[in-house]
Amino acid sequence: MSSSSGKTFIVEHLDPELGPWSELEYIAIANESQAEGSTFILSSLPPEFQVPGALQSNAAFRAERRGVEELYAADKSRVCLLDPSAAKDLSPEDGETFDVFLFGGILGDDPPRDRTSELRKKGFEGRRLGPKQMTTDTAVRVTRIVVQDKVELDKIPYTDFPELKFSEHESTEMPFRYVKAEDGSPIMPQGMKELIQKDADKALDDLF
Ligand code: SAM
């Protein structure tokens, strides 16, 4: 295995519970990690955390009660924090310097609340994935394309703030950057579009 493959992606779970959106994102990260020969660790999990069924059978996935600081106490320099406020953008060469990539397990918010700062305080070296906020699964996907496939950040096809159309009269704009699939659609976890539609319908029902 070359130094650029077989990376470890750690998502430090920072939300109090595992909501349905995060669950779909984590399942997508685990499936892609298994397919691409990487490891996915979900760290800092509360004791009552129940590993979803779809993750239990995934050989690339590991659930951890310990936080990243404890896991990599002796070897902090191997860990790169993906940080929207970092001064330097991620590059394929970073795949030679780091073999662990750390992300905030935070749902995207608009405007961004900078909760990644909780990880920045721990002193890991940071890299940015360009100027736009990505969902956590997109951030992991883009990092893998850069450090494992060695594609420059600005050569990846993106779609920014895509509009999801549910019907002729119903659509939602997503305030994030996604990787663009060949058919032009944003790459999203399986089941996410349906969940977004369900939440939008519920928000509308609650208004009446
Ligand atoms: N609004 C958020 C915050 O409070 O920091 C951003 C959360 S984002 C949905 C989840 C994680 O994806 C971040 O903690 C970060 O690790 C990664 N991420 C997303 N967009 C990024 C970017 N443009 N550059 C670097 N990391 C990014």
What structural domains does the chain harbor? 8-151 (3.40.1280.10)
- ipTM of the assembly? 0.97
Pairing of strands 158-160, 177-179: antiparallel
20-36 vs 136-147: helix axis angle to the nearest 10?
20
Q: What is the pLDDT of residues 83-127, one digit of tens each?
A: 999 999 999 999 999 999 999 988 877 888 888 999 999 999 999
Pairing of strands 163-165, 61-63: unpaired
Q: Is 136 in the pocket of ligand 1 (CB under 6 A)?
A: yes
Q: What is the pLDDT of residues 73-85, one digit of tens each?
A: 888 999 999 999 9
Q: What is the pLDDT of residues 9-58, one digit of tens each?
A: 999 998 877 889 999 999 999 999 999 999 999 999 988 888 889 999 99
Q: What is the pLDDT of residues 124-145, one digit of tens each?
A: 999 999 999 999 999 999 999 9
Mutate to test the pocket of ligand 1, among 22, 79, 127, 134 (most ligand atoms within 8 A of CB): 134
Is residue 124 within 8 A of residue 76, CB to CB? The reply is: yes
Burial class (CB in 10 A: 0-12, 13-18, 19+), 92: middle
Mutate to test the pocket of ligand 1, among 22, 101, 116 (most ligand atoms within 8 A of CB): 116
Q: What is the pLDDT of residues 156-200, one digit of tens each?
A: 999 999 999 988 888 999 999 999 999 999 999 999 999 999 987
In the three-class reduction of DSSP (H, G, I as helix; E, B as strand; rest coil), residue 40 is classed as strand
